[in-house]
Amino acid sequence: MAFEVTILGNSSASPTLNRHPSGQYLNICDNHILIDCGEGTQMQLQRYKIKKSKLSHIFISHVHGDHILGLPGLLLSMNLMKHEQPVNVYGPKELFEILDVFFKHSETDFSFPLIYHAVDPNEQTIVLENLYFRVKSFPLYHRVPTIGYLLEERFMLKKLNVDACQKLKVPFTHFNDIKMGKDYITADGKKIKNEELTFPSTRPISYAYCSDTIFDERVIKAIEDADYLYHESTFMHDKLDRAIKTMHTTAKQAGMVAKKANVNQLLIGHFSSRYEDLTPLLEEAKSEFPNTRLALEGSTFILE
């Protein structure tokens, strides 16, 4: 089962010449997801050869401009392309007030169902669940209502033993059922057990997304034992006063969150434009949590 994360933007409020505002693209078993949509996100999708027409779910953390200003343009471009499949948008209720005003005064009629899902930023809840994955929301602590998201594989497809299937002459039309754990019944009624046709599946993977937030122990409880954690690291720790005032996190604090939450790997992003060289932020986070990587734009992380 594929679980991939591509970083589209990793800058905080102000973009730089080589860093764009927040945006991430996720592919979970051919479910195409966007988390946050800062200015220029659709151009980043094109740059990294990701088809926006495939997007079905868009999750927004909060309504600060560096997380939403790319969303109206993205939706309007999909409309111009005569997109037809439903697009589900999740976020705080204030997001939909903003979008409605924009689309009302631009006299936009959508060619596809645009479905709003208001998420309570004060509660932990399951906001989406299907056969392959679920998405849980949880509160973050910023200057405006802000939501974190935990994406979890829900059901692991088994890996097909192609050689065994060919040897036993199993038609390819049955492969999906077999990967989902079903036995194969031959034309003459003989049952071939699933274990003979597959390899064991691996355990499900989880990915926590923490955008803008001050360091808060309550976040740690919400993401405990996640396999992968993306956490904002706007400032170095020598700017702790600035981080507290603006309700952001330092790179050192992001490492502390990862360590306390017992995650497997930490990705840091949402960097202030004051930092041209990101190496010091990486080193600071690693001082608390060694298994840390920079969420560099254009990077695709295979979660496994």
Per residue in 124-155, pLDDT (tens digit) is 999 999 988 999 999 999 999 999 999 999 86
Residues 133, 153 contacting (CB under 8 angstroms): yes
- Looking up tokens 């709003």 gives 116
Check pLDDT > 70 for residue 222: yes
Active-site choice (66, 109, 238, 241): 66
- Rounded to whole angstroms, how far apart are CA atoms 73 and 79? 10
Regarding predicted confidence, which is higher, 189 or 222? Answer: 222
- Looking up tokens 């689309």 gives 103
pLDDT at position 217: 94
- Rounded to whole angstroms, how far apart are CA atoms 270 and 62? 14
pLDDT at position 32: 97
- Over range 69-97, report the average pLDDT: 97
How many CB atoms within 10 Å of residue 294? 18
pLDDT at position 154: 82
Check pLDDT > 60 for residue 88: yes
Active site residue 227: no
pLDDT at position 1: 54
pLDDT at position 132: 87
pLDDT at position 178: 86
Helix, strand, or coil (residue 21) = strand
% of the chain surpassing 90 pLDDT: 84
- In this structure, what are the phi and psi dihedrals at residue 247, rounded to the nearest 5 degrees? 60, 55
Identify which of 207, 206, 216, 297 has the alpha carbon closest to the alpha carbon of residue 254: 216
pLDDT at position 283: 98
- Rounded to whole angstroms, how far apart are CA atoms 15 and 51? 23
- Rounded to whole angstroms, how far apart are CA atoms 261 and 82? 44
- Over range 235-241, report the average pLDDT: 98
Helix axes 279-288, 251-261, angle to 10 degrees: 30
All CATH 3.60.15.10 domain ranges of the chain, comma separated, are 3-156+202-302
Check pLDDT > 90 for residue 210: yes
Residues 35, 61 contacting (CB under 8 angstroms): yes
Q: What is the pTM of this model?
A: 0.88
How many CB atoms within 10 Å of residue 97? 11
Residues 25, 45 contacting (CB under 8 angstroms): yes
- Over range 189-213, report the average pLDDT: 90
Check pLDDT > 70 for residue 156: no
% of the chain surpassing 70 pLDDT: 99
- Over range 155-174, report the average pLDDT: 85
- Looking up tokens 């492969």 gives 175
- Reported in sequence order, the residue ranges of 63-132 that DSSP labels E, i.e. its strands, are 87-91, 114-118, 125-129
Please list, in sequence order, all residues whose beta carbon lies within 8 angstroms of the beta carbon of residue 73, skipping any fewer than 6 positions away: 42
- Over range 44-59, report the average pLDDT: 97
pLDDT at position 301: 97
pLDDT at position 2: 78
- Rounded to whole angstroms, how far apart are CA atoms 98 and 106? 13
What's the topology of domain 3-156+202-302?
Metallo-beta-lactamase; Chain A (3.60.15)
